[in-house]
Structure 1
Amino acid sequence: MTFTPLVTERLVLRPFTEDDAEDFALRRSDPDTAAYQAWRVPYSVERALALIQDVARKDGPTPGGWYQLDVERRADGMTVGDVAVYLHEHGHTAEIGYTLHTWARRKGYATEAAAALIEHLITVHGVHRIEASTHPQNIRSIRVLERLGFQQEGVKREAYWVEDEVSDDAFFGLLARDWQARGEALAV
């Protein structure tokens, strides 16, 4: 079974294709984008292609591994970024992440894309808890998580390593019942 793209008002979250490798590498090579991430710049097209080919072997999120989706605008098919999900072994907990091009930020795309992914994880995969982590100074990402209903659960001091650099790591959690109650409140 192939992953069916998730469609929102403005976006389509779809499986990557090899044609996405150059854009993916460009996004990950941007120093501002990489500032709070686990990769160093530059990010090669070959590395992007290897990641895309690895993800393409999967039909969607599966326990024990990361799965990434390209996020494109419906209006013009332009990629604005990507979202990722790690489904834990038991399948009850997932971790999400999102990365946008610098020009695509502050337009609500990260919130819209992450909301679609959260809804999919809860309704299709039966996920009970969704987690996210970010650098405590990544205020924009923290604001996205707060808009989605995540609660900050703590900060691990000097717990996140990228090569030889260490930083703090802020943890956030969202329960399925809180997500569903939020949706019901918005529908009223």
Structure 2
Amino acid sequence: MISHYREAVAFAPLHTERLVLRPFTEADAEDFATRRSDPETAMYQAWRVPYSVDKALALIRESAAHDGPVPGGWYQLDVERRADGRTVGDVAVYLHEHGHTAEVGYTLHPWARRKGYATEATAALIDYLVDTAGVHRIEAATHPDNSRSILVLERLGFLAEGVKREAYWVEDEVSDDAIFGLLAREWRARRNAMRL
């Protein structure tokens, strides 16, 4: 089967009504480490607190080694408000081996939650994945108790596809993993219906 994934080109920032999604720079490391060091933010995530600036720099450098998302690795984007340039959080995408499937994730500062930023930023990322990268399926996974994250996914049109029992490990702790999926054709139909 021929891949529909288009090779990554230099990633141009994505603009929404209120936000800009852009590749991380090393100047973002301290803010990123602060966000990931918040216990509430880290509660359902794959990292432990505190999250060091050195770890943040390593992740940023790894992501910056690519011009955009490439199969087999995570690509992180800073999300900042257009009004004042302040970072509200980040979104990330992992392209699976053949580029047909992508996994998305998002993390916001506590002060930036419940303002629709995660939904707005992730929608822009999905637009990019479907329209520019040619991705067929977008996935997301979260702890079954992470109701706020699940609400974001539902707003975007993701469907709950099941729960993998005791499948998600963070060091020596295991939890269930709720799986959500969205097909490119479903996203296009939803987007077109919203424009009517």
TM range (shorter): over 0.9
- Correspondence list, 1:17-36, <5 A: 17-36=25-44
- Unaligned segments of structure 1, at least 5 residues: none
The answer for the alignment partner of 2:127 in structure 1 is 119
Q: Which amino acid aligns with 1:51?
A: L
Counterpart CA distance in 2 for 1:186 and 1:109 is: 18
The answer for the alignment partner of 1:7 in structure 2 is 15
TM-score normalised by the chain length of structure 1 = 0.99
Query: Which of 133, 138, 142 is the aligned partner of 1:130?
Result: 138
The answer for the alignment partner of 2:66 in structure 1 is 58
**Deviation (angstroms), 1:166:** 0.7
Q: Which amino acid aligns with 1:134?
A: T
Query: Which of 90, 93, 114 is the aligned partner of 2:101?
Result: 93
- Correspondence list, 1:152-167, <5 A: 152-167=160-175
Counterpart CA distance in 2 for 1:93 and 1:49 is: 27
TM-score normalised by the chain length of structure 2 = 0.95
**Deviation (angstroms), 1:2:** 2.5
Question: Residue 99 of structure 1: SS of its match in structure 2?
Answer: strand
The answer for the alignment partner of 2:24 in structure 1 is 16
Counterpart CA distance in 1 for 2:195 and 2:139 is: 25
**Deviation (angstroms), 1:3:** 1.2
Moved over 2 A (4+): none
- Unaligned segments of structure 2, at least 5 residues: 1-8
Counterpart CA distance in 1 for 2:99 and 2:55 is: 28
- Correspondence list, 1:173-188, <5 A: 173-188=181-196
Question: Residue 163 of structure 2: SS of its match in structure 1?
Answer: strand
The answer for the alignment partner of 2:55 in structure 1 is 47
Identity of matched residues, %: 79
Counterpart CA distance in 2 for 1:156 and 1:16 is: 32
**RMSD after superposition:** 0.6
Counterpart CA distance in 2 for 1:14 and 1:144 is: 21
Q: Which amino acid aligns with 2:137?
A: R
How many residues in Structure 1 have an aligned counterpart in Structure 2?
188
Question: Residue 180 of structure 2: SS of its match in structure 1?
Answer: strand
Counterpart CA distance in 1 for 2:25 and 2:176 is: 34
Question: Residue 194 of structure 2: SS of its match in structure 1?
Answer: helix
